[in-house]
Amino acid sequence: MSQGEALLKLTGVSKSFGGVHAVSKLDMEVRQGEVLGLIGPNGAGKTTVFNLVSGVQQPTSGSIRFAGAEIAGLRPDQINRRGIARTFQTASFLPGMSVRENVRLAAAFRDPAKLKARPVEVVVDESLARAELSDVADQPAELINASQHKRLEIARAIATEPLLLMTDEIVAGLNPAETDDLLRILVGLNRQGMTLVFVEHDVRAVLSVSHRLVVLAQGTLLAEGDPKTVARSSEVIRVYLGNRYAGNQ
């Protein structure tokens, strides 16, 4: 698949919980090699989209295609082995295990072809280095700091050797210096060929790394395109960003 082609494509995707439409007839694509920022107010459907793409939830209707193949209806482990990894808003490390052991567990669940091609320990060491965790690799996971827990989420995700990495509020709760460090790691992954989808309430962080921006509101597509252009849209300002943010542009 060449740079700029649709790696992930959602067509007419809807998800309802009883009478509540969390996502409604959503058309959205993620292009090979890009960093896509996905933003919107609380309840816009961002995490639901992540859950649908990763198989945590199943769509009520619509199609989700990855690398040309339909993935709606597959289990999370099947989708992961096809090349999609995600992080969660809350760090999901396993206590009682070291940082390295947490990453090793993820690497061991790769697709059999990937397991055959690259030994687990090679992938573990590489993932720790890319997430800048090599110096704490043998520490108990519960004893590292909050910023390192975020990086552990990334290391575990990339240890599955994904084509697409989706991060859900990965910089939430970090100070500016820690945020910059994490963004630098993500940009580095993208430069090495990984496609990223970045959900975050820190709009300045999203704008600083995204090649393209998608804005959701009430489960539907509100706007998409060049990040700076979208951020200046009067409708996006009205629904989400607010005049205080717009005035600083």
Of the pLDDT bands very low, low, confident and very high (cuts 50, 70, 90), residue 245 is low
Domain residue ranges of the chain, discontinuous segments joined by +: 1-83+199-230
Give the tens place of pLDDT for each residue, 162-211: 999 999 999 999 999 999 999 999 999 999 999 999 998 888 888 999 99
According to the model, what pLDDT value does residue 39 have? 92
1-83+199-230 CATH fold: Rossmann fold (3.40.50)
- Radius of gyration for the chain, computed over Cα atoms and rounded to the nearest angstrom: 18
Q: How far apart are CA 198 and CA 9, in angstroms?
A: 16
Of the pLDDT bands very low, low, confident and very high (cuts 50, 70, 90), residue 88 is confident
According to the model, what pLDDT value does residue 133 have? 98
What region does 36 belong to: left with phi over 0, alpha with psi -120 to 50, or beta? beta
pLDDT higher than threshold 60 for residue 247: no
Whether 212 and 36 have beta carbons less than 8 Å apart is answered as yes
